Amino acid sequence: MKPMLRTLFALIVLLPAIAWANNYPLVLDPMVTATPPGAKVSAGYMTLTNESDKAITITGAYSPDVAKVEIHLSLVENDVAKMQKQDSLTIEPNASLTFEHGSYHIMLMDLEDPLKENTTIDIVLITSSGDMLIEMPIKKLGHGNHGANGEKMSSDMKHEDMNEADTSMKSMTDDKTDTESMPKPAKVVH
Amino acid sequence: MAIIATVALGAGIYVSSQLNIENTGGRYNEQDAINANAQQEQFDSQAFQSLQAQLQNTTLFPDSFKQVPAFSLLQGENEPLTESILKDKWSVLFFGFTNCPDVCPITLNEMNGVVDQLGSENATVPQVLFITVDPVRDPVEKMAEYVAYFNDSFIGGSGDLNEITALTTKLGIVASYTANEDGSNDYTVDHTASMLLIDPQLRVRAKLNAPHKVDTLVADLKTIMTYYN
């Protein structure tokens, strides 16, 4: 990420992302999976909520840090795991779209270096409202984290991966007892 | 009447001797299904059904449904990986590839949780093997590094593509290769999402179905391994 962008983030990070929402989807719980040694791919997950009264279409993604980024759907059909590139996804008005295990993900390909946990990666979503840059925290997989069948935030959520990544968010809310069910606003630039 | 009975008995012996040849020959083909049916009849179907009923997301196979055939692959730093590694212990066998962003890492991550939990409960802990169906991009050293990231005890397997295909075909594991649409000289691999549970006599005991979850896997593995141990 460019130094100027970093400064920009520093200025806006303490303000709720919703202030920028307008016709952009609200980004919650963004994460990219840290990669095992040798892995050339990773996946990004999050929930996008369209709070406007107009449908928002996502037609692609890119990143200054990754050679190739696509939107994929992974599915298991007749016990066979498959991946399908998605050309366009629509979020209806007042609806959400979740990128999660066993469903949609931001597919990062041709990685040159491993993605290390507790760092971040910039992903730009191309939407009908314009491009939006999302700073996505890189996390190790935890059990139940963004699980299939909407089972994210399960009882297994005691693992360390939630802790550090949440630190910045805790300063934004006084409700420390309810961090597990609290959606976490993302750092977003439009 | 006696003649009919004799003929029927003779035919029965003939068929059963043919089935035995199939079994001991270690070859697997269309006979498999017939074999499985014949064995299933002998199996105590009541015990089988009651065991199956206790399982949450696992499909049991009858006693002599299928055995892991001989194979010759590689593990670690180019050391041999053969069927003998499966002897005298329970194993979970999973096929995938490292360019798989979602299903494979998540499954291995869940298996790490399974191994941890079974270990902490002093239950039988199966060994976990992750064998690539994409050996061209996944040489053995890469597989070893990859699985160790999830758990030091996991075994990563690679080797000759033909050898891997022979193994997956015999085990009924699907791997199909699809070129990416963008003409980037890249491809992805669709592959079986379930894992196989192999018993200490190399029999394929069960199919652990996707989606894989620690709690369900722990419960089902304990139920099966306790029953057969």
Say yes or no: B30 and B73 in one domain: no
Report, in angstroms and rounded to the nearest whole number, the Rg of chain A calculated over CA atoms. 16
- On whether any CB of chain A is under 8 Å from the CB of B174, the answer is yes
- The C-alpha angle A116, A34, A58, rounded to 5 degrees, equals 115
Say yes or no: B34 and B51 in one domain: no
pLDDT digits (tens, 9 = 90+) for B116-128: 999 999 999 999 9
Say yes or no: B142 and B174 in one domain: yes
Predicted pLDDT at B45 = 82
Predicted pLDDT at A145 = 44
Coil, helix or strand for B130?
Answer: strand
Chain A interface, best mutation among B94, B102, B142, by max A CB count within 10 A: B102
Say yes or no: B50 and B154 in one domain: yes
Residue B44 has pLDDT above 60, yes or no: yes
Say yes or no: B145 and B62 in one domain: yes
Contact A148 B211 (CB under 8 A): yes
Model confidence at B179, pLDDT cuts 50, 70, 90, reads confident
Domain that holds residue B5: 1-42
Residue B201 has pLDDT above 80, yes or no: yes
pLDDT digits (tens, 9 = 90+) for B73-126: 999 999 999 999 999 999 999 999 999 999 999 999 999 999 999 999 999 999
Give me the CATH number covering residue B105: 3.40.30.10
Side-by-side strand order, sheet with B127-132: B58-60, B204-208, B195-198, B91-96, B127-132, B155-158, B72-75, B79-82
- The C-alpha angle B32, B29, B14, rounded to 5 degrees, equals 60
Say which CATH class A3-165+179-189 falls into.
mainly beta
Write out the two tokens for A12. 């806006």
Predicted pLDDT at B29 = 61
Say yes or no: B132 and B203 in one domain: yes
Contact A102 B180 (CB under 8 A): no
Say yes or no: B19 and B59 in one domain: no
Say yes or no: B121 and B221 in one domain: yes
Predicted pLDDT at A184 = 57
The total number of structural domains that make up chain B: 2
If you average pLDDT over every residue of chain B, what do you get?
87
| Residue B191 β-bridge partners | A81, B175
Say yes or no: B110 and B168 in one domain: yes
Say yes or no: B8 and B58 in one domain: no
Name the stretches of chain A with pLDDT < 70.
1-22, 143-185
Q: Which residues of A touch B209 (CB under 8 A)?
A: 79
Q: What are the backbone dihedrals phi and psi of residue A88, each rounded to the nearest 5 degrees, phi first?
A: -160, 140
Say yes or no: B105 and B205 in one domain: yes
Say yes or no: B49 and B64 in one domain: yes
Query: Is B185 exposed, middle or buried, given 0-12, 13-18 or 19+ CB atoms closer than 10 A?
Result: exposed
Task: Report ipTM (2 d.p.).
Answer: 0.76
- The C-alpha angle B170, B175, B176, rounded to 5 degrees, equals 135
